Chains A and B, each alone.
Chain A
């Protein structure tokens, strides 16, 4: 079946511009996660959505970062006024009630 998809796969933007990254989770998965991975580094937790509960935003690095999940499915991560240090791969994952977490291919963001 279809896995987690993310778009775009690559995004190049200029410093100061806003970007939107999209995640389509596996159908029926109630939980959705966003992570950031810098080159050669581990996974940095950003935000977590579970059903209709308020999201866990504890990992967002600044107020320039926000995310929403519409209708309990698709999620959008928005970065406002991008900075060069925002350059990274942004990974989305979803999980079912069983807890198994599946990742998308990621969006590689480059801020010039």
Chain B
């Protein structure tokens, strides 16, 4: 089955700096790559996603890049704000079961 690795497990940045979280996967058939933000006591929330026919997608301060050849994708958050503090999960799917990374706890220091 699919193996998703996520790094780093914890990340602290100063407010206004950028944050980057990386994930690698093993199944070349994976074709959809979502990112989720989970705040304390809440369910994960889909924040951005990318499909295998696209290399990069941007939504305001958040962007995701995908390198299918190397089997890795990354989440980029620019101009970080304290409200970006949360746990972020990457995931992959071939259209059926989803496989999740182990999560990154991001802390934005005011």
Looking across the interface, which residue of chain B has its beta carbon closest to that of A3? B43
Decide: A106 and B34 in contact? CB cutoff 8 A: no
- A residues less than 8 Å from B103 (CB atoms): 41-42
> Which listed residue, B32, B43, B45, B101, touches A99 by the CB 8 Å rule?
B32
Q: Please, how many angstroms separate the alpha-carbon atoms of A16 and B52 in the complex?
A: 46
In the complex, the answer to whether A91 meets B44 with C-beta atoms within 8 Å is yes
- Establish whether residues A104 and B96, one from each chain, have CB atoms under 8 Å apart when the complex forms: no
Q: Which residues of B contact A93 (CB under 8 A)?
A: 43
Sorting the interface of chain B by its residue count into under 10, 10 to 19, 20 to 34 or 35 or more gives 20 to 34
Q: Is B61's CB within 8 Å of the partner chain A?
A: no
Nearest chain B residue, comparing its CB with the CB of A97: B95
A65 interfacial contact with B, CB 8 Å: no
Whole-angstrom CA separation of A93 from B44 in the bound complex: 9
Q: Which residue of A lies closest to B100 (CB)?
A: A43
Whether, in the assembled complex, B46 has its beta carbon less than 8 Å from a beta carbon of chain A, the answer is yes
Q: Check A42 against B101 for contact (C-beta < 8 Å).
A: yes
- Assembly CA distance A35 to B101 (angstroms): 14
Tally inter-chain residue pairs, CB-CB below 8 A. Answer: 46
Expressed in whole angstroms, the Cα–Cα distance for A4 and B46 within the complex equals 13
B65 CB–A CB distance under 8 Å: no
Q: Which residue of the partner chain A has the closest CB to B103?
A: A42
Report the minimum CB–CB distance from A32 to chain B (whole Å). Answer: 12
| Size of A's binding interface in residues, CB under 8 A | 19
Residues on A with beta carbons closer than 8 Å to the beta carbon of B101:
42
- Which of B32, B44, B93 contacts A43 (CB under 8 A)? B44
Residues of B within 8 A of A99 (CB): 32, 93, 95
Q: Assess the B98–A101 pair: CB atoms within 8 A.
A: yes
Please, which residues of chain A bring their CB within 8 A of the CB of B98? 33, 45, 101
Query: In the bound complex, do residue A105 and residue B42 qualify as a contact, i.e. CB atoms below 8 Å apart?
Result: yes
Q: List 4 additional contacts besides A43-B44, A48-B97, A56-B96; criterion CB under 8 Å.
A: A4-B43, A33-B98, A42-B103, A101-B93
In order of increasing CB-CB distance, the 5 nearest A-B pairs are A103-B43, A42-B102, A43-B100, A103-B44, A105-B43
- In the complex, 21 of the A-B residue pairs with CB atoms within 8 angstroms, ordered by the A residue number, are A42-B89, A42-B102, A42-B103, A43-B44, A43-B100, A45-B98, A50-B96, A56-B97, A91-B43, A91-B44, A93-B43, A99-B32, A99-B93, A99-B95, A101-B93, A101-B98, A103-B36, A103-B43, A103-B44, A103-B45, A103-B46
